[in-house]
A = this chain, B = another copy of it.
Amino acid sequence: MKYDSDMQSLCPAAFSFQVIGGKWNLPLLAVLAGNETIRYNALKRELNGITATTLANTLKELIAHGVVRREAFAEVPLRVEYSLTESGRELVPLIEAIVGWGDRHLGK
């Protein structure tokens, strides 16, 4: 089995990786997993240290990959809610498994 730099044979892995890779993707998914829905600024507060730029970019990526849903309500003040989609929720146990592995092997 060969793995090309364009990752042809690892294409599903590359896709998964676009979803869980990146500095804030995992923390962001974790916060979303802990809330039915959550607003932009609440998300920003939970993710201590993230900038508006990065949060917006990360959300867009995740929405494009179909794991996050965005709902805007035409109220004043404007309200936007984010939540995990079905496939996003399927990812949660895997993320937990990864974190669990790290927990068991950190400094062992």
One complex includes copies of this chain to the number of 2
**How far is A4 from B87 in the complex, measured between Cα atoms in Å?**
26
Interface of A, helix, strand, loop or mixed by DSSP: helix
By a CB distance below 8 angstroms, the chain B residues around A11 are: 102, 106
Among A91-108, those with CB < 8 Å from B are 91, 94-95, 97-106, 108
Q: How far is the CB of A22 from the nearest CB of chain B, in Å?
A: 9
In the bound complex, do residue B91 and residue A94 qualify as a contact, i.e. CB atoms below 8 Å apart?
no
In the bound complex, do residue B101 and residue A16 qualify as a contact, i.e. CB atoms below 8 Å apart?
yes
A-B complex: 10 closest residue pairs judged by Cβ atoms: A5-B49, A12-B102, A16-B102, A12-B103, A3-B27, A15-B102, A13-B99, A4-B48, A16-B98, A87-B105
